[in-house]
Chain A
Amino acid sequence: MKLAFVLRMAWRDWRSGELGLLLIALTVAVATVTSISLFVDRLQQALVSESADFLAADRRISSTRAIPDGFREEAAARGLRQADTMSFPSMVFVRDDTSQLVSVKAVSEQYPLRGVVRVTDEPFTAGEVTSDVPARGQVWLDARLFPALGIALGDEVEVGVARFKVSKVVVQEPDRGGSMYDLGPRLLMNLADVPSTEVVQPGSRIVYRLLLSGDAAALEDLKGVLPLEPNYRWQGIRESSPAIGDALSRAESFLLLGGLLGVLLAGVAVALSAHRYARRHYDHVGILKTLGATPTQIMYAYVAILLVIGVSAVVLGLLIGAALHVLIVLALQSIIPVALPMPSMRPVFLGAATGLICALAFALPPLLHLKNISPMRVIRRDLGGAPRSQYMSYVAALGGSLGLLIWYSGSLWLTAWTLVGTAAALLIFGALAKVLLRGGRVVGMQAGSGWRLALAGLQRRSGENTAQILIFGLAIMLLLILFLLRSSLLEEWRNELPDNAPNHFILNIVPEEVDALTDMLEESTERRGDVVPMIRGRVLAVNGIGSRTWEQQHRGVDAPGPSLRSERNLTWAADLAEDNTVVDGSWWPADETRALVSLEDEYAAELGLSVGDTLSFDIAGRMVDVEVASLRSLDWESMRPNFFIIFSPAVLADFPATFMTSFYLPTDQKRFLNMLLSNFPTITVIEVDAIIAQVQRIIDRVTQVVELVLALVVASGCLVLIASIQASRDARMGEHALVRTLGGSRGLIRGSLLAEFGILGIFAGVVAVVGAEITVAILQVQVFELSFALHPWLWVVGPLFGCVLILLVGMFGTRAIVSTPPWAVLRESEI
């Protein structure tokens, strides 16, 4: 058979509208995958690079030891950009002997590799971006150091034995949020000046960092060759800022899942429209065969038609997908300040492959069956009907989707759970649909004629309707799953960082200042946290064993994580904080008089401590023995003051403690800090508003993307519904034409169709809700690591949604049934 003839056949099929739905379904599959993956690809790159501001680099290597030159040489050999920083606490003095503890950060000329440093000439004003670092002999100070030290720009300060001129106010540096424990006010200096200060001595608490940026592959390669363990920590955004890392990972999972479901839905739509196309061509093929078309010719013809459609769908889908993604980028441009990097070729390949795999796995099998249609069908309708076995098409569809899903998500785990959820849902759906249909028959006996006709119709095609409920249910279920995951993800993120969370912390409040300070905060700020006592201390022994020995026995000396011996912030409390949960032992009563302590569970686990152990503390030079009464889990990302170690109130009541508190201050009221620090010069204020704002900005952006993906998936879902209704349209048409020739009015037909689709929709909604609840429960717990919760409102909304959706789509899809004269239907159905 000549190509020209095949193309002509394709054109004639297209003209008759037979191929339209198949082409649309395939195109939507390609466009969905292309646009989602193009956007995700670029956004991921952008988000990662924006998040990299948190590190001031793409990756960094941190250590308490100096970074070996060998590391720098390896990095340079890979064409990576580098910068060095050193951070350490130190005292800064001014001439009249006023002093203040500061967090010194010494940086090399290349700093920062990502993000920007902002400076200003007047404390507590908005800064301007600078590309410089402090010149040698100069330092830049945090705004709050100016009132605390009583100095102005141009004055001199001493760090160690060296004197420096204060030349700028440092407002922001990208990696300030790197650690909540690097909290003193900032002093930024040139790395080359560090030796002259002589503050770096053996035993000094210094963190050395080598900042790196450049090609992702080169970075990964470098990570592989450096002897990092156990002294050097390799940090990406995920390791250094778990809050953002988590948000990114979850968003990625969600986007992938969304894309995955979009592909599945489009695949189902493709399969449905291909089956309908094939069924409508049984007679067609029979006639062609009587005219001398051989099975091979038939096969080639339909494969060729599918190829033409597949290639057109790929081209169209890629174009639409690219256009869609450009629209998305344009729409979000104002909130994506970073320039999006050019996408890689992967999304394009992914889109094209999706189209071809969908065509092959979902559409080809039913079309291949056509070659087996017997030409006898033309004269003996009862002979040579539908091909017997279709298991091959299920195997192909399953294999195709599996391959596609794994490739697309790059995650076996996510794919496996999605498939397990789908398979379980199918089983449950099948059983449930049967029960519902049987129940409907009983009710139908008592109903009016439209309803009776509808229920009779539903029950007569019970096999087909079970299948339809399955498909509708599956589509609605997937939508519900996405919707639920979206809302629980967003809620989780919002809960993590409430809008009005405290964004400023005050440390070093002496007891005499507490009342006056509280009054001032109450007057000028809207929300405040509790005033919490704080005292420094360290563990000397556990159960009588020296802490060094204990630590060696339980995890080795140089292992990462909190050290038992280092000095820590301790507090005491009568009541358990609301975001803490006791996981072992029990919290003490408010009037507890024994010396007890409660530990954070991960801290305890790493150091091999458990309930019942006795810890000996050195607190302000005095020895205190306490028993571990409970272990707590807590949320370190809550932006509330949290402590590894909490004492029962009786123990520390007589110790000289300082206090800390937190409050919320909007950006436009920052000058209040100046007043605060003038009144209480010895307190330390920590501003975390910039960090919170940055985290929130990233989460907001991720949220918008998530919503967009949801919209795309909804579009694929509707397509499945339309395809499914189209697939059963011929049978319905014939039946209803018969009813009308027998005297049924148009109103009766419309009524019975309404009832039929309504009932189908409600049933599908019910099974969708069951499936969604199960799948979401599994996904939330297993993949997203969120807590499990049922959604009672869903049981109302789901069936209602199903009913309305299928009614709308169904009535739209079958408007021809109602308006076509019955004779036309019956005549056409003979052909």
Chain B
Amino acid sequence: MRAEQIAKVVPTAEGELAILAGIDLEINAGESVAVVGASGSGKTTLLGILAGLDQPTSGRVLLADHQLTSLDEEERARVRGEHVGFVFQTFQLLGSLTALENVMLPGELRGDANAEKDALELLEKVGLSERSRHYPRQLSGGEQQRVAVARAFASRPTVLFADEPTGNLDTATGQRIIELLFDLNKEFATTLVLVTHDDRLAQRCDRIVEIEAGRIV
């Protein structure tokens, strides 16, 4: 994955605000990278752009042979479906779906016939096969994040993006999620890009990229 001269400028009441200013970044397959920085440094925006959720104002992003910046939302969504997985700080499970259905979603969107079987296996891996019929509101924060991790791997992603995956969890639970994340990452040979404040988490990664005021330092 490669990002070249990524800039993101947004209009505000006080004029234009440059959130990212000329980011160059290359991440190799299988590598794990932690993006760290203070609040408002632009790390989450960068994550969104790298993952194809958002478009930069200028610059190019290449992800698994696709130049994301020249695709429209329709095509970017297809690339995300094929290559990208997400874990979010606030879990982002669909409240109206059971744990199993949440994990099945990526498979169902792709039209996999085995979506349910795969999802059950993944839930087994994260230790929640007993609770597959439970709704998110019936699960604790740690359990919800484990479901989210299982869902992230359900799409067999090339790259997994994680946005503060332990930000909403206590230390012990957070630790278990980190272990899970890295175990699965190894098992599926996924490239991992995670945004975090958590030093312990950052230290587990192959490389740390620090962002300050929209630039890599």
A binding-site residues for B, Cβ under 8 Å: 1-2, 5, 8, 12-13, 15-16, 18, 283-284, 286-297, 374-376, 378-380, 383, 824, 827-828, 830-831
Question: In the complex, which residues of chain B have a beta carbon less than 8 angstroms from the beta carbon of A376?
Answer: 48, 53-54
Q: How many A-B residue pairs have CB under 8 A?
A: 101
Q: Which of chain B's residues has its CB closest to A290's CB?
A: B86
Q: List 10 A-B contacts (CB under 8 A).
A: A287-B94, A290-B53, A292-B106, A296-B74, A378-B53, A379-B53, A379-B163, A824-B137, A831-B136, A831-B137
Question: In the complex, which residues of chain B have a beta carbon less than 8 angstroms from the beta carbon of A383?
Answer: 54
| Shortest beta-carbon distance from B196 to chain A in Å | 13
Per the bound structure, the CA–CA distance linking A824 and B137 in Å amounts to 8
In the complex, B69 has a CB within 8 A of chain A? no
Question: In the complex, which residues of chain A have a beta carbon less than 8 angstroms from the beta carbon of B109?
Answer: 1, 5, 288, 291-293, 297
Taken residue by residue from 141 to 167, chain B's Cβ proximity to chain A (1 for < 8 Å, 0 otherwise) reads as 000000000010001000000010000
Q: Which of chain B's residues has its CB closest to A831's CB?
A: B95
Question: In the complex, which residues of chain B have a beta carbon less than 8 angstroms from the beta carbon of A830?
Answer: 90
With known contacts A288-B109, A374-B53, A379-B163, A295–B101 Cβ distance under 8 A: no
Contact B77 A294 (CB under 8 A): yes
| Shortest beta-carbon distance from B146 to chain A in Å | 16
Question: In the complex, which residues of chain B have a beta carbon less than 8 angstroms from the beta carbon of A297?
Answer: 77, 109
Contact B137 A292 (CB under 8 A): no
Contact B95 A378 (CB under 8 A): no
With known contacts A287-B94, A295-B73, A295-B74, A379–B80 Cβ distance under 8 A: no
In the complex, B44 has a CB within 8 A of chain A? yes
Question: In the complex, which residues of chain B have a beta carbon less than 8 angstroms from the beta carbon of A15?
Answer: 96
Question: In the complex, which residues of chain A have a beta carbon less than 8 angstroms from the beta carbon of B89?
Answer: 379
Contact B54 A293 (CB under 8 A): no
Q: Which of chain B's residues has its CB closest to A375's CB?
A: B53
Per the bound structure, the CA–CA distance linking A828 and B155 in Å amounts to 26
Question: In the complex, which residues of chain B have a beta carbon less than 8 angstroms from the beta carbon of A5?
Answer: 108-109, 111
Question: In the complex, which residues of chain B have a beta carbon less than 8 angstroms from the beta carbon of A16?
Answer: 95-96
Contact A294 B73 (CB under 8 A): yes
Which of B81, B136, B151 is most buried by chain A, counting CB atoms within 10 A of its CB? B81
Question: In the complex, which residues of chain B have a beta carbon less than 8 angstroms from the beta carbon of A290?
Answer: 51, 53, 80, 84, 86, 92
Contact A12 B97 (CB under 8 A): yes
Question: In the complex, which residues of chain B have a beta carbon less than 8 angstroms from the beta carbon of A375?
Answer: 53-54, 77, 80
Q: Which of chain B's residues has its CB closest to A379's CB?
A: B163
B binding-site residues for A, Cβ under 8 Å: 44-45, 47-48, 51, 53-54, 73-74, 77-78, 80-82, 84, 86, 88-97, 101, 105-106, 108-111, 136-137, 151, 155, 163
Q: Which of chain A's residues has its CB closest to B90's CB?
A: A830
| Shortest beta-carbon distance from A494 to chain B in Å | 55
Q: Which of B48, B73, B137, B155 contacts A827 (CB 8 A)?
A: B137
Question: In the complex, which residues of chain A have a beta carbon less than 8 angstroms from the beta carbon of B81?
Answer: 291-294
Q: Which of chain B's residues has its CB closest to A8's CB?
A: B108
Q: Which of chain B's residues has its CB closest to A14's CB?
A: B96
Per the bound structure, the CA–CA distance linking A18 and B97 in Å amounts to 12
Q: Which of B48, B97, B106, B151 contacts A379 (CB 8 A)?
A: B48
| Shortest beta-carbon distance from A340 to chain B in Å | 46
Question: In the complex, which residues of chain A have a beta carbon less than 8 angstroms from the beta carbon of B151?
Answer: 291
Per the bound structure, the CA–CA distance linking A295 and B76 in Å amounts to 10
Question: In the complex, which residues of chain B have a beta carbon less than 8 angstroms from the beta carbon of A286?
Answer: 92
Q: Which of B44, B77, B88 contacts A289 (CB 8 A)?
A: B77
| Shortest beta-carbon distance from B21 to chain A in Å | 18
Per the bound structure, the CA–CA distance linking A16 and B44 in Å amounts to 32
Question: In the complex, which residues of chain A have a beta carbon less than 8 angstroms from the beta carbon of B163?
Answer: 379
Contact A380 B108 (CB under 8 A): no
Q: Which of chain B's residues has its CB closest to A383's CB?
A: B54
Per the bound structure, the CA–CA distance linking A286 and B54 in Å amounts to 12
With known contacts A289-B77, A376-B54, A13–B48 Cβ distance under 8 A: no
Question: In the complex, which residues of chain A have a beta carbon less than 8 angstroms from the beta carbon of B51?
Answer: 290
| Shortest beta-carbon distance from A666 to chain B in Å | 68
Q: Which of chain A's residues has its CB closest to B96's CB?
A: A16
Contact B78 A831 (CB under 8 A): no
Contact A2 B78 (CB under 8 A): no
| Shortest beta-carbon distance from B50 to chain A in Å | 12
Question: In the complex, which residues of chain A have a beta carbon less than 8 angstroms from the beta carbon of B101?
Answer: 12
Q: Which of chain A's residues has its CB closest to B164's CB?
A: A379
Per the bound structure, the CA–CA distance linking A34 and B95 in Å amounts to 36
Known: A12-B96, A831-B95. 20 other contacts (CB 8 A): A15-B96, A288-B105, A289-B77, A291-B80, A291-B81, A291-B109, A291-B151, A292-B77, A292-B82, A292-B84, A294-B73, A295-B73, A295-B74, A375-B53, A378-B88, A379-B47, A379-B48, A379-B88, A380-B48, A827-B137
Per the bound structure, the CA–CA distance linking A290 and B54 in Å amounts to 11
Per the bound structure, the CA–CA distance linking A16 and B137 in Å amounts to 12
| Shortest beta-carbon distance from B38 to chain A in Å | 16
Contact B92 A13 (CB under 8 A): no
| Shortest beta-carbon distance from A744 to chain B in Å | 23
Per the bound structure, the CA–CA distance linking A13 and B95 in Å amounts to 10
Q: Which of chain A's residues has its CB closest to B77's CB?
A: A294
Per the bound structure, the CA–CA distance linking A380 and B53 in Å amounts to 11
Per the bound structure, the CA–CA distance linking A380 and B46 in Å amounts to 12
Per the bound structure, the CA–CA distance linking A431 and B148 in Å amounts to 48
| Shortest beta-carbon distance from B58 to chain A in Å | 18
Contact A294 B78 (CB under 8 A): yes
Question: In the complex, which residues of chain A have a beta carbon less than 8 angstroms from the beta carbon of B92?
Answer: 283, 286-287, 290, 378, 831
| Shortest beta-carbon distance from B44 to chain A in Å | 6
| Shortest beta-carbon distance from B98 to chain A in Å | 9
Per the bound structure, the CA–CA distance linking A291 and B97 in Å amounts to 15
Per the bound structure, the CA–CA distance linking A297 and B80 in Å amounts to 14
Question: In the complex, which residues of chain B have a beta carbon less than 8 angstroms from the beta carbon of A12?
Answer: 96-97, 101
Contact A2 B80 (CB under 8 A): no
Question: In the complex, which residues of chain B have a beta carbon less than 8 angstroms from the beta carbon of A18?
Answer: 96
Q: Which of A295, A380, A831 contacts B44 (CB 8 A)?
A: A380
| Shortest beta-carbon distance from B168 to chain A in Å | 9
| Shortest beta-carbon distance from A487 to chain B in Å | 46
Per the bound structure, the CA–CA distance linking A620 and B72 in Å amounts to 100
Per the bound structure, the CA–CA distance linking A351 and B95 in Å amounts to 35
Which of A287, A296, A297, A379 is most buried by chain B, counting CB atoms within 10 A of its CB? A379
Q: Which of chain B's residues has its CB closest to A372's CB?
A: B73
Q: Which of chain B's residues has its CB closest to A289's CB?
A: B77
Per the bound structure, the CA–CA distance linking A288 and B73 in Å amounts to 13
Q: Which of A292, A380, A827 contacts B80 (CB 8 A)?
A: A292
Per the bound structure, the CA–CA distance linking A83 and B148 in Å amounts to 84
With known contacts A291-B155, A376-B54, A379-B48, A831–B93 Cβ distance under 8 A: yes
Per the bound structure, the CA–CA distance linking A1 and B105 in Å amounts to 12
Contact A294 B88 (CB under 8 A): no
| Shortest beta-carbon distance from A288 to chain B in Å | 7
Q: Which of chain A's residues has its CB closest to B195's CB?
A: A379
| Shortest beta-carbon distance from B35 to chain A in Å | 13
Per the bound structure, the CA–CA distance linking A63 and B21 in Å amounts to 96
Contact A292 B44 (CB under 8 A): no
Q: Which of A287, A292, A824 contacts B110 (CB 8 A)?
A: A292
The 4 closest A-B pairs by CB, nearest first: A292-B81, A16-B96, A294-B77, A375-B53
Per the bound structure, the CA–CA distance linking A293 and B53 in Å amounts to 12
| Shortest beta-carbon distance from B68 to chain A in Å | 13
Question: In the complex, which residues of chain B have a beta carbon less than 8 angstroms from the beta carbon of A287?
Answer: 92, 94
Question: In the complex, which residues of chain B have a beta carbon less than 8 angstroms from the beta carbon of A827?
Answer: 137
Contact A294 B74 (CB under 8 A): yes
Which of B53, B81, B106, B136 is most buried by chain A, counting CB atoms within 10 A of its CB? B53
Question: In the complex, which residues of chain A have a beta carbon less than 8 angstroms from the beta carbon of B95?
Answer: 16, 828, 831
Per the bound structure, the CA–CA distance linking A58 and B93 in Å amounts to 68
| Shortest beta-carbon distance from A331 to chain B in Å | 41
Per the bound structure, the CA–CA distance linking A407 and B64 in Å amounts to 56
| Shortest beta-carbon distance from A302 to chain B in Å | 14
With known contacts A1-B111, A16-B95, A290-B53, A295–B48 Cβ distance under 8 A: no
| Shortest beta-carbon distance from A381 to chain B in Å | 9
Question: In the complex, which residues of chain A have a beta carbon less than 8 angstroms from the beta carbon of B82?
Answer: 292
| Shortest beta-carbon distance from A829 to chain B in Å | 10
Per the bound structure, the CA–CA distance linking A313 and B117 in Å amounts to 34
